[in-house]
Amino acid sequence: MTHDPHLISESLSFEGTVGFYSHHSSACNGEMKFAVYQPPTAKERPLPVLYFLSGLTCTEENFMIKAGAQRFAAEYGLILVTPDTSPRNVGIVGEEESWDFGTGAGFYVDATQTPWDRHYQMYTYVTTELPALIHHHFPVVPNRQGIFGHSMGGHGALVCALRNPDRYRSVSAFAPICAPMQCPWGQKAFSHYLGSDRTHWQTYDASELLRISKFHSPILIDQGTSDQFLATQLLPDVFQKACEAVDQPLELRLQPGYDHSYYFISTFIKDHLRHHAIALNA
């Protein structure tokens, strides 16, 4: 069951609106926040919807403030939705202790381990509960839905798309965590949220999921070569090999000199919105 969203603030942007909302989430058993950009054409007709999942330490705000996506969403006629990256202030001891786990680091999984399982149901939240709420309250065409993200959110976007190719028509990522089972961020998050059963971890690892699931349209990934997390945490080469093994079309663009920041994202954001617009408007 979804609850009506409460509008916190609204600003005009490229003749459309950026709105910040809170609502009660049944999946996460508490208040969640998200933001929506509605381009000017949303006043005239329902539009395709594109979800952006942010990375570690982010909220629903970072992308809306820093990516510069509104100009192109207005141009291409896409509604943008950015959820928060985790439940917050839910009273779990240690939830604020690290920047790469707990608050701001939900990893887009449904936790099975106590005490996280009562609230950290981000996979269900972003794939089911939030889209149902968006469909109900905003002028979207529900079967024209795409997803993209950055870093932890790039991992989330790839996992959501590979597990639900019927629900997402397009997927892309900036500097995604491509093989979370093989990197410290992923291993820390999965062991605490999911327990020790590594077969369960595979259901949230894009490089593993490719063994059983292919996406029906090409995947676009941009990766900066000066990203400080590239060699230890992101591992795009593992994902590339997994794509090759199953003939999954992948455009992996290594961008010389770019780091992990939103300066990198904003440089290539237009290409990503175009990638999604082509698939979502086809």
Ligand X SMILES: N[C@@H](CCC(=O)N[C@@H](CS)C(=O)NCC(=O)O)C(=O)O
The verdict on 56 binding ligand X (CB under 6 A) reads yes
The verdict on 57 binding ligand X (CB under 6 A) reads yes
Q: Are 58 and 108 in contact (CB under 8 A)?
A: no
Contact pick of 22, 112, 261, 266 for ligand X (by CB under 6 A): 261
The contacts found for 166-169 with CB under 8 angstroms, 24 or more apart, are 167/127, 167/131, 169/143, 169/144, 169/145, 169/217, 169/279, 169/280, 169/282
Residue 97 in tokens: 């202790």
User: Segment contacting ligand X (CB under 6 A): 56-64, 74-82, 213-221, 245-253?
Assistant: 56-64
Collapse the DSSP code of 108 into the 3-class scheme (helix H, G, I; strand E, B; otherwise coil) and give the result.
coil
- Would residue 227 show up in a list of annotated catalytic residues for this protein? yes
Contact pick of 16, 55, 77, 186 for ligand X (by CB under 6 A): 55
- Would residue 260 show up in a list of annotated catalytic residues for this protein? yes
Q: Are 217 and 250 in contact (CB under 8 A)?
A: no
> Catalytic pick from 172, 227, 272, 275?
227
Number of residues binding to ligand X, judged by CB under 6 A? 13
User: Segment contacting ligand X (CB under 6 A): 24-32, 35-43, 148-156, 270-278?
Assistant: 148-156
Instruction: Report cis status (omega within 30 of 0) of the bond before 115.
Output: yes
Alpha helices, DSSP H, located in 59-139: 62-66, 70-76, 122-124, 130-137
Cβ proximity to ligand X: between 100 and 117 the closer is 100
Task: Catalogue the active-site residues.
Answer: 151, 227, 260
Binding site for ligand X (CB under 6 A): 55-58, 62, 66, 99, 150-152, 260-262
